[in-house]
Amino acid sequence: MDLDILLQLAGSLLAILALAGLAWKLGLGGEQRIRDQDHARELADEAIPGFAAQEIALDRAGQAALARDGNGRILLLRRHGVHFAARMLAGHAHARLDRGLLIVGTDDRRFGSIALDLGPQAQYWAASLRRL
């Protein structure tokens, strides 16, 4: 092999490693999940500053969560790419139970709906949404 080709190969390898390191440092890639209730509280406060979640229901897969504050408002958090999006729920029109999953949507069509696997909490939260 020619020395020029080896230098090009080494330079390309270093550039790839540098880009991979930068992506890792910035937190790009990978699959984000809601780790626990504290993480859900942080996400809720980021979405709506001052939203102090008193009750939280986490989807078993970590894809979404429901959070209720002291005023009875319910916030839906869901993964959107590598970030999380949130919408305040205004009523029960877009919530239903289906085979143990709580299907929740919002008035915002772009936000879509999501199926939350809340286990035994699904019925409790479905009833809470009916009271909105």
DSSP 44-102: HHHHSTT--EEEEEE-TTSSEEEEEETTS-EEEEEEETTEEEEEEE--STTEEEETTEE
How much is the pLDDT for 93?
A: 64
Write down the number of H helices and E strands in the chain.
Answer: 3, 7
pLDDT in tens, 63-84: 999 999 999 999 999 998 778 9
pLDDT in tens, 110-132: 888 899 999 999 999 988 888 76
Q: pLDDT at residue 53 above 90?
A: yes
pLDDT band at residue 30 under the 50/70/90 scheme: low
The Cα 120–Cα 107 span in angstroms is 26
Is the pTM higher than 0.85? The answer reads: no
The Cα 117–Cα 99 span in angstroms is 10
How much is the pLDDT for 36?
A: 94
Q: pLDDT at residue 29 above 70?
A: no
CA proximity to 40, closest of 59, 26, 25, 15: 59
CATH for 37-130, among 3.40.630.10, 3.40.50.80, 2.40.30.10, 2.30.29.30?
2.30.29.30
Q: pLDDT at residue 89 above 70?
A: yes
Strand-pair partners of 48: none
* Range with lowest mean pLDDT among 14-18, 47-51, 92-96: 92-96
pLDDT top residue among 112 and 61: 61
Amino acid at residue number 50: G
Q: pLDDT at residue 40 above 90?
A: yes
